[in-house]
């Protein structure tokens, strides 16, 4: 239940960072932020900050390194929220 919720929220967060040739419908749980969604690596930094704000969590440098795909992000969010 929570997972589906995270997924919709994440799509909303990622949407403004998508380049013109990628739409929100192209996002799937398996999408790689940089390689598939063509998000520029500088903007991935901003996505992390938006995720922190939206889910009220703090991501460490290791978490950021591991956050390559939408699934990765959901797993990290889940881990952080459950350990709170």
Partner 1 sequence: MKNRVVVTGLGICAPNGVTLSDFTKTLQRGTSGISFQQELKELNFGCQVAGKPSLKPGYVNKYFTPLQLRGLNASGLVYGVIAGTDAWNDAGLSKAEEDEPDWDSGIIFGTGILGVDKFRESIHLVDAGNTKRLGSTSVIQTMASGISAYLGGILGSGNQVTTNSSACTTGTEGVIMAYDRIQSGKAKRILTGSCSDSGPYVWGGFDAMRILPRKYNDSPSAASRPLSASASGFVPGSGAGALVLESLQSAKQRGAKIYAEVLGGAINSGGQRGGGSMTAPNSMSVRRCIKMALNNSGIVSKDIEAINGHLTATGKDPVEVLNWSQALERSGLDFPYINSFKGIMGHGLAAAGSMECVAAVLQFKEGQIFGNVNIEALHPEIEKLVDISRVPIKTIDFKPKTIAKASFGFGDVNACVIFKTFKN
Contact of 19 with 6, CB cutoff 8 Å: no
C-beta closer to partner 1: residue 47 or 74? 47
Site string for partner 1, 9-28 (x = CB under 8 A): -------xx-----------
Q: How many alpha carbons fall within 13 Å on the CB side of residue 27?
A: 22
Q: Which is nearer to partner 1, 1 or 42 (CB)?
A: 42
Nearer to partner 1, 16 or 29 (CB): 16
Phi, psi for residue 69 in degrees, rounded to 5: -125, 170
């Amino acid at each position: 239940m929570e997972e589906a919720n995270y997924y919709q929220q994440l799509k909303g967060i990622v949407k403004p960072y998508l380049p013109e040739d990628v739409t929100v419908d192209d996002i799937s749980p398996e999408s790689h932020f940089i390689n598939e969604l063509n998000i520029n690596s500088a903007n991935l930094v901003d996505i992390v900050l938006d995720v922190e704000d939206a889910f009220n969590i703090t991501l460490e440098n290791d978490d950021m390194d591991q956050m390559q795909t939408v699934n990765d992000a959901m797993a990290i969010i889940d881990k952080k929220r459950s350990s709170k």
